[in-house]
Amino acid sequence: MNPYIPVIIVLIFGVVLGGILSGLAAFLGPKKYSREKMDPYECGVPKVTAGSEKMSVKFYLTAILFILFDIETVFLYLWARTFKELGWLGIIEIAVFVLILVVGYIYVVRRGALEWD
Amino acid sequence: MGMNLGIDFSSLLQWNDFTVDLVAFAVKFAILVGGLLQLPPLLVWIERRVPALMQRRRGPNRVGIFKWRLYGLLQSLADTVKLIFKEEVVPDGAHKVFYHLAPVFCVFPAFLVACAIPYGPDLTIYGYKIPLSVVRMDVGFLFIFAISSLAVYGVSLAGWASNNKYSLMGSLRASAQMISYEIPLGMSLIPIVLIYGTLDLGKIVEAQTSFFQWGVFAAPLSLLIFVICMFAETNRAPFDLAEAEGELVAGFHTEYNSAKFAAFFLGEYVSMFVLSCLASTVFFGGWQVPFVSYDALVAMLGSPNFVAPVGILMLLLKASFFMWVYIWVRWTLPRFRYDQLMSLGWKFMLPIGLANVVGTAIVLAVLRFK
Amino acid sequence: MEAFYFVPEMLFYAISGLILLSSIMVVAARNPVTSAIFLVVDLFFVAALYAQLDAHFTAAIQVLVYAGAIVVLFVFVIMILNLKPDALRGIRFSLGEALVLLITLAGFVIVGSELAHTAPDLTMPGNLGSAAIEMAGGNTYVVAMRMFTAFLWPFEIASVLILLAIVACVMIAKKDKRVTKS
Amino acid sequence: MIPVENYFVLSSLVFLCGLAGVMFRRNLIMVLMSIELMLNAVNIIFVAASRHLAQVDGQIMVLFVITVAACEAAVGLAMVIALFRRYGTVNTEFLRLLRG
């Protein structure tokens, strides 16, 4: 059996289970509405500004670097799977690939894109 | 070409590859889910008793049935019941759909990943070979990373949908942390693939036949990186920045309560368990018994089918060691600062991980290719 | 086994339905976060389609990189910019634009049906059927071998592309900060 | 077996969705997401054809398309962020007015 069939069944199950857990409270718990209670908790005091504000662009830079290194990891896995068969040729190929990316990594570190302050 | 409705339903009642696979899948999955759902209460109990032990106090010990107190084991059951019957408070201004959807995104990746772990050696029943992982596939590792990378959405949606700036901040921090440590986590297992030449977890366990062939001896640095990333991926101490009480209240799930809060717990504990299982599978021989080879065990017990329970027990034992480490570390190490956490991930773990890959490759190449 | 060919077929139609539905939702949703989440669903089920076609490695990469990384970037940007739902009312539907859509559809139908009918002739030597792929060591192995032999140059150039993207992103996103500092 | 035409039909419908998004949405981020949808539609054809022609080249192409998509999304979103900082909007209509 192609493994995607069980995966899809498990996926459906997981979503249903999450949904049940998520929906359980709505059916079982008491419901008493009060204006104060429904206010977002935040940190315990009445809120001063709106619920969401602009966030640091740092998160975005992290996400970008994540994508690019994620792809690198994928290619590394692909090479690792055929390491034995490719031999030294494969090592040279992947070395060039990694070296080019290391240049990018050094640039990012030098520019201070990874500094959190 | 539509569907041919002249389906031969009688073949559904016969045993063939497909029906055996289907029934085996259903049974294995039911057992797995049954086991996984017991995890959170048990782990919550352990997580209260262990620090009590460490701090020389008692921890929960009152709740029990009649006069049997069972060391307070039923406390977590009582807490679960309480959580489920609590009133659900959805904050005003929360995004109605995503607020309810976020716990689902936290729960299903954990369960899906749990299906890829090989829990024991293959069973043979009436000539049909049944692997003891719910889903066995060629891309093992990558499947696990792929699915667990989806858990980021649960965290980020929860914070975004709560209409709370501290939740949003906490969720962005938690998700940035999760994605940052995903790369060293992925890289730490590349040496394992280099050594064993496969991505299939079942085959990796089978390759670790004797004690000194365990992954930990072949790639000790990988284990270190993997364990550190394990903590970061599950947002556990010392990397539980999202829950830094002083600054961000309870992180991305501040506005969650009742059963939805329990759902986040379930997701967290199941993914802790799965990562522990993965660590034991890759580095500590999975279901293999130390010093006794599989063939010797088969000879000793008479049939491969009797080895399976031993194997499952062995894996659970090894995994519970890692679970213990999780709890132990939580009460031992102080929390990192966020900038320290991110620079640890990007400036230390990533280069070390890459160096680990390169080093292993060169050593292996020199040994193998001459 | 013969009797169960309807299972993949049924699943194909179910998955395609979900893909289409989520694609429409990606384009039609007012809230960008809704779009992003439907994009994840879309990409996930496309991965399921790949797995059905025995491309397990590609399916895993689709989820890992596309659904688990690229869309995370979108979600991050939407959250950082704190974008509000769009007003969809003012959308005009000009004749020209409708025509573009229609012509594209027609082009697809023609090219697709042509290809589907002539495709078996395109089969090149050295091909691998799914049984042959299993024999040769699995999907990942076959993809990797082909990648590191026949597709060596595109592979190395991909790394240059990634390098350029890294440099460009850091330059564009960090630019303003430097200006304000000086 | 599922005929390969079905994959072509599915792919072209997804592609059309993406095209409609690129044409009609004003939000730059939505436009980028629609482009992802179009690339994804192309990938479906690549994999289906790879199976149909019984060779893995299509799947390798998908890997490269995903790489390109990642770079495109990263740079595109970097520009969206730069635009948002400069003009405070990501609406294409508004940005078109700036061209003068």
Q: Which domain holds residue C1?
A: 1-85+131-150
Binned at pLDDT 50, 70 and 90, residue B3 comes out as very low
Which of B65-69, B320-324, C126-130 shows the lowest mean pLDDT across its residues?
C126-130
- Cis link prior to B238 (omega < 30° from 0)? yes
Of the candidates C119, C147, C47, C144, the residue with the CA atom closest to the CA atom of residue D52: C119
Q: What percent of chain C has pLDDT over 90?
A: 28
pLDDT the model gives residue B352: 93
Mean of pLDDT values over B189-203 = 90
C144 touches chain A (CB under 8 A): yes
B17 touches chain C (CB under 8 A): yes
Are the beta carbons of D70 and A71 separated by less than 8 Å? Answer: yes
Domain with residue D21: its CATH number is: 1.10.287.3510
Pairwise pLDDT comparison (B7 vs A61), residue with the higher score:
A61
C80 touches chain A (CB under 8 A): yes
Place of tokens 């993949």: C8
pLDDT the model gives residue B356: 93
Identify from D4, D19, D33, D79 which residue to disrupt to test chain C contact, counting C C-beta atoms within 10 A and taking the largest count.
D33
Pairwise pLDDT comparison (B39 vs D36), residue with the higher score:
D36
Q: In total, how many domains does chain C have?
A: 2
Which chain A residue's Cα is nearest to B173? Answer: A59
DSSP string, C92-120: ---HHHHHHHHHHHHHHHHHHHHHHHHHH
Mean pLDDT for all residues in chain D: 86
Which chain C residue's Cα is nearest to B12? Answer: C3
Place of tokens 């078109």: D96
Mean of pLDDT values over C158-166 = 91
The subunits that touch chain B, with at least 3 C-beta pairs less than 8 Å apart, are: A, C
Are the beta carbons of B111 and A13 separated by less than 8 Å? Answer: yes
Mean of pLDDT values over B236-247 = 69
Whether C102 maps to a domain, the answer reads: no
What is the set of domains in chain A, with CATH numbers?
4-111 (1.20.58.1610)
A49 touches chain C (CB under 8 A): no
Q: Decide if C49 contacts D44 (C-beta within 8 A).
A: yes
Taking contacts as CB-CB distances below 8 angstroms, the residues of chain C near B137 are 56
pLDDT the model gives residue D14: 92
Place of tokens 């959405």: B153
Give yes or no for residue C117 having a pLDDT over 80: no
Whether C165 maps to a domain, the answer reads: yes
Place of tokens 């670097």: A65
Q: Are residues C13 and C25 in the same domain?
A: yes
Least CB–CB distance from A22: residue in B103, B115, B339: B103
| Residue D16 vs residues B42, C74, C95, D21, D50: alpha-carbon distances, Å | 51, 21, 16, 8, 22
Least CB–CB distance from A57: residue in D66, D74, D81: D81
B222 touches chain A (CB under 8 A): no
Cβ neighbours around B82 below 10 Å, total: 11
pLDDT the model gives residue C130: 59
B116-135 pLDDT tens trace = 899 988 888 887 888 888 88
C67 touches chain A (CB under 8 A): no
Based on its alpha-carbon atoms, the radius of gyration of chain B, rounded to whole angstroms, reads 22
Are the beta carbons of C158 and D75 separated by less than 8 Å? Answer: no
Binned at pLDDT 50, 70 and 90, residue A44 comes out as low
Binned at pLDDT 50, 70 and 90, residue C84 comes out as confident
Q: Show me where the domains of chain B are located.
A: 86-369
Least CB–CB distance from A67: residue in D63, D74, D81: D74
**ipTM of the complex in this document:** 0.90
Query: Is the pTM above the cut of 0.95?
Result: no
Give yes or no for residue C1 having a pLDDT over 50: no
Question: If you count residue pairs, one on C and one on D, with CB atoms under 8 Å apart, how many are there?
Answer: 214
Pairwise pLDDT comparison (B272 vs B11), residue with the higher score:
B272
Which of A53-62, A75-84, B313-322 shows the lowest mean pLDDT across its residues?
A53-62
Are the beta carbons of A64 and D81 separated by less than 8 Å? Answer: no
Pairwise pLDDT comparison (B119 vs A44), residue with the higher score:
B119
- Indicate if the alpha-carbon torsion angle C58, C60, C65, C67 is positive or negative: positive
A91-105 pLDDT tens trace = 998 999 999 999 998
pLDDT the model gives residue D52: 78
> What is the Cα C5 distance to its own chain's centre?
27
Q: Are residues C58 and C135 in the same domain?
A: yes
Residue A109 to chain B, least CA–CA distance (Å) = 8
Helical (H) or strand (E) element with B82: helix B74-85
Q: Which domain holds residue D47?
A: 4-88
Least CB–CB distance from A67: residue in C70, C144, C148: C70
Q: Are residues C157 and C144 in the same domain?
A: no
Give yes or no for residue C110 having a pLDDT over 50: yes
Question: If you count residue pairs, one on A and one on B, with CB atoms under 8 Å apart, how many are there?
Answer: 208
Are the beta carbons of A29 and B109 separated by less than 8 Å? Answer: no
pLDDT the model gives residue D100: 57
Residue C118 to chain A, least CA–CA distance (Å) = 29
Mean pLDDT for all residues in chain C: 80
Mean of pLDDT values over B7-31 = 77
- Which of A49-53, A58-62, B17-21 tops mean pLDDT? A58-62
pLDDT the model gives residue B291: 84
Q: Decide if B310 contacts B297 (C-beta within 8 A).
A: yes
pLDDT the model gives residue B95: 80
Of the candidates B144, B137, B147, the residue with the CA atom closest to the CA atom of residue B108: B147
Q: Distance between CA atoms of C78 and C71, rounded to whole angstroms?
A: 11
Q: Distance between CA atoms of D45 and D20, rounded to whole angstroms?
A: 19
Identify from A81, A106, A115 which residue to disrupt to test chain C contact, counting C C-beta atoms within 10 A and taking the largest count.
A81
Give yes or no for residue A106 having a pLDDT over 50: yes
Give yes or no for residue A51 having a pLDDT over 70: no
Pairwise pLDDT comparison (A88 vs B4), residue with the higher score:
A88
Give yes or no for residue D69 having a pLDDT over 90: yes
How many residues make up chain D in this entry? 100
pLDDT the model gives residue A4: 80
Which of B355-359, C32-36, C172-176 shows the lowest mean pLDDT across its residues?
C172-176
Of the candidates C50, C140, A82, A10, the residue with the CA atom closest to the CA atom of residue B138: C140
Binned at pLDDT 50, 70 and 90, residue B13 comes out as low
Binned at pLDDT 50, 70 and 90, residue A108 comes out as confident
Taking contacts as CB-CB distances below 8 angstroms, the residues of chain D near A74 are 63
Binned at pLDDT 50, 70 and 90, residue B245 comes out as low
Are the beta carbons of C80 and A72 separated by less than 8 Å? Answer: no
Mean of pLDDT values over A81-95 = 89
Binned at pLDDT 50, 70 and 90, residue B345 comes out as confident
pLDDT the model gives residue D42: 92
pLDDT the model gives residue C124: 43
Binned at pLDDT 50, 70 and 90, residue C125 comes out as very low
Mean of pLDDT values over A46-75 = 76
Helix boundaries (H) for A1-117: 4-28, 58-81, 83-111
Residue C94 to chain B, least CA–CA distance (Å) = 34
Cβ neighbours around A104 below 10 Å, total: 22
Q: Are residues C137 and C164 in the same domain?
A: no
Mean of pLDDT values over B303-326 = 89
Q: Distance between CA atoms of C45 and B300, rounded to whole angstroms?
A: 47
Give yes or no for residue C112 having a pLDDT over 60: yes
Are the beta carbons of A83 and B194 separated by less than 8 Å? Answer: yes
Residue C113 to chain A, least CA–CA distance (Å) = 28
Q: Decide if D56 contacts C133 (C-beta within 8 A).
A: yes
Binned at pLDDT 50, 70 and 90, residue C161 comes out as very high
Question: If you count residue pairs, one on B and one on C, with CB atoms under 8 Å apart, how many are there?
Answer: 86
pLDDT the model gives residue B135: 84
Whether D65 maps to a domain, the answer reads: yes
Q: Decide if A10 contacts B115 (C-beta within 8 A).
A: yes
Give yes or no for residue B355 having a pLDDT over 80: yes
Give yes or no for residue B239 having a pLDDT over 90: no
Helical (H) or strand (E) element with C134: helix C130-136
Whether C120 maps to a domain, the answer reads: no
B128 touches chain A (CB under 8 A): no
Residue D93 to chain C, least CA–CA distance (Å) = 11
Q: In total, how many domains does chain D have?
A: 1
C2-52 pLDDT tens trace = 556 677 788 889 999 999 999 999 998 888 889 999 999 999 999 999 988
Least CB–CB distance from B172: residue in A21, A55, A81: A55
Mean of pLDDT values over B36-46 = 86
C180 touches chain A (CB under 8 A): no
Taking contacts as CB-CB distances below 8 angstroms, the residues of chain A near D77 are 60, 64
Residue C175 to chain A, least CA–CA distance (Å) = 11
Q: Distance between CA atoms of B199 and B189, rounded to whole angstroms?
A: 10
Residue C36 to chain A, least CA–CA distance (Å) = 15
Whether D100 maps to a domain, the answer reads: no
Mean pLDDT for all residues in chain B: 84
